[in-house]
Amino acid sequence: MDRMERFEDMPLDERTLSSLKKKGFYKPTEVQKEAIIPAIEGNDMVVQARTGSGKTLSFLIPIFERIEGGSGIEAIVLVPVRELAQQVETEARDIGRFHGISTVAVYGGTSIDNQIKKIRKSSIVVGTPGRVIDLMKRGALNLDGIKFFVLDEADRMLDMGFLDDIKWIMSRTPDKKQIMLYSATMPDDIVRLAERYMRRPIRLKLSEDSISAKGISQFYVRVGEMNKLAKLSALLENEPGKYLIFTRTKIGAQRVADNLRKSGYKAFALHGDMTQAARTRTMNEYKEGKIKILIATDVASRGIDVEGITHVINYDAPLFQKDYVHRIGRTGRLGKDGKAITFVTREEIPVLRKIEEYIEKKIPEMRIEKKGRIRERIDYREYADVFGMVTLRFSLKERVSRLEILKKMEKQGIQDEEVGRIDLGNGYAEVEVHYSRAHRASKAGFRDVQIVRRDSFERKSG
């Protein structure tokens, strides 16, 4: 048996073990097995591990094993967003309760005065770079005595433009300190940061730069914008679970949540236009399982670390490949299976191809045949070409001229400039009509009107 099979096999303080038992944690995850002991031994650490791997405990446990408490701030954990600060602080508070050591989370959007009061009684600070710098400049946060400096989700902090802030904070801490850097990917800027400030760090690579996506089944669904809600409803009805649904915009997140609620689903949005109290309440209910359907933007979702997410739905395909990796990484955690489904419109086909190149994997198509509570409609735009023209084919009892077809179209309010190519065949005609008028063309008195599908989803060979 591996000597690290259980936390009890590690040389941990009884207070730490008691806190872990209280939370129901008995067996360490891979990152905890690999990182805890080297960190307790005082080594600088560079750990590549994705969110949901149990990394938070892998740096908190060594901190609590080695700090004393009662002598000012001894450790700082920098995180990219307030939601992650709250989550790390919650984990630290659960362990700290047994050690008699307090932790404070500091971030924008809430009272700085309350945070200053808590800092005076705390030994560990978890915070976002902007608020940490603000507190330091006010003289309310002194890092002269810290023993631990942790950078959590370092790649996201770099993506958000925090590199200079991190350097500013780092330069105002003691030279003699233990640095632990955690990141899902390892871009060059992070490697340079480690080389500049760390001394012979232990390097652990427990995730891939291009997502390995163990335990995550990935699919795409071809769907027009008009029918995304219907397809989502079909999934919710036929594949019950805990859903995290991504949209590109705050307005989009709220609109999807509102429309789902109108159809009887208990769905809630999470975005930047909500008050901090509303966001915290929503996240807590989602964690506790009171909410099973959460619709979020990329920015609002940063830091979401919730167990039991069965489905990640990209309602809007992400524009950046890294965002795809971060999004789908919210499911399939801690050895559990998960499903990631991306809705793809015709316009988003190039986005899908770039994602496939980035993850070095072809994403198979998933067809959703079953119906949900929301009815699907004919989405003519989805059949349109790059000029917005849809080709309709209909039967003819007798020969007609192009002029006669145009006249019939005109009676339905379709102008000449909204009609494109007209091909007349033996017993049929094909007419190009702008998608915004196609529903009128189908009422022009022609028989057996059908849409001619031009499938741009097909992959080019070679």
In a domain, 460, yes or no: no
Question: Which amino acid does the sequence have at 239?
Answer: E
Q: Which residue has the tokens 């067809």?
A: 367
In a domain, 70, yes or no: yes
259 and 333 co-located in one domain: yes
186 and 223 co-located in one domain: no
Residue by residue, pLDDT tens for the chain (462 residues) are 345 689 999 999 999 999 999 988 898 988 899 999 999 999 999 998 876 678 899 999 999 999 988 779 999 999 988 888 988 999 999 999 999 999 999 998 888 999 999 999 999 999 999 999 999 999 999 999 999 999 998 888 887 889 999 999 999 999 999 999 998 878 788 888 888 889 899 999 876 544 445 578 999 999 988 899 999 999 999 999 999 999 988 899 999 999 999 999 999 998 878 887 888 888 888 888 899 999 998 776 665 667 789 999 999 999 888 788 878 888 876 667 889 999 998 888 889 998 888 887 899 999 998 899 998 888 888 778 778 888 888 888 788 888 888 888 888 888 888 888 888 888 888 888 888 888 887 777 777 788 887 654 444 333
401 and 277 co-located in one domain: no
The domain that contains 228 carries what CATH number?
Answer: 3.40.50.300
> Measured between alpha carbons, how far is 221 from 243 in angstroms, rounded to an integer?
16
In a domain, 144, yes or no: yes
74 and 103 co-located in one domain: yes
E-strand ranges in 162-265 read: 178-183, 202-205, 216-222, 243-246
> Measured between alpha carbons, how far is 197 from 173 in angstroms, rounded to an integer?
11
Number of domains in the chain: 3
271 and 317 co-located in one domain: yes
State pLDDT tens for residues 160-182. 889 999 999 999 999 999 999 99
119 and 138 co-located in one domain: yes
The domain that contains 439 carries what CATH number?
Answer: 3.30.70
315 and 353 co-located in one domain: yes
Helices 188-197 & 163-170, crossing angle to 10 degrees? 10
Closest CA to 243 of 317, 302, 296, 303: 296
73 and 108 co-located in one domain: yes
Please state the pTM of the whole predicted model: 0.61
Residue range of the domain that includes 418: 380-451
Closest CA to 158 of 201, 120, 190, 135: 190
Closest CA to 351 of 386, 317, 382, 314: 317
107 and 57 co-located in one domain: yes
> Measured between alpha carbons, how far is 451 from 433 in angstroms, rounded to an integer?
11
175 and 226 co-located in one domain: no
290 and 339 co-located in one domain: yes
| 3-state percent breakdown (helix, strand, coil) of the chain, nearest 5 | 40, 20, 40
In a domain, 373, yes or no: no
> Measured between alpha carbons, how far is 324 from 326 in angstroms, rounded to an integer?
5
Contact 365, 221 (CB under 8 A): yes
Longest dimension (CA), the chain: 95
Q: Which residue has the tokens 């097909």?
A: 458
